[in-house]
Amino acid sequence: MDVLPFKYKNGLWYLDKPELMETHLFYVPLFMAERGISEFLDELAGNIFDYLTLEFSYTRINPYDAKLVKAGATYKCVSIFGNSKDYAIWLPPPIFKAMTTNSNPESIYIKVVASVSNKA
């Protein structure tokens, strides 16, 4: 299991783990622009929350809020909050780096463990 924090700022989702950021001469945020990931995080946040802490489990847990299954080089979202889904998600490299207990799982069960809204 890995716990990954995400924050939403200026229309983008970011992985809130600065220790994973590669050091350059300038700040490069860990934003999530890959196919499907922004929409996935928006759906988990319900367009209400701008900070999510997600628990990634690689064996089945109950209850879970979302399930991803491996589909070639990407993952497919098959369920969110008990509703069937069917869309591809490309997990960006920083997420794979943050998945320290299993960097290439067949299935990922995701649970929202914390959410915060700073929106007015």
The one-digit pLDDT tens for each residue of the chain (120 residues) are 999 999 888 888 888 887 776 654 444 555 666 778 888 999 999 988 999 999 999 999 999 999 999 998 889 999 999 999 999 998 888 888 888 888 789 999 999 998 888 765
Residue extents of the structural domains in the chain: 2-116
Bridge partners of residue 108, in order along the sequence: 68
pTM: 0.85
71-107 in b/e burial notation, b at 16+ Cβ within 10 A?
Answer: eeeebbbebbeeeebeeebebbebbebbbeeeeebee
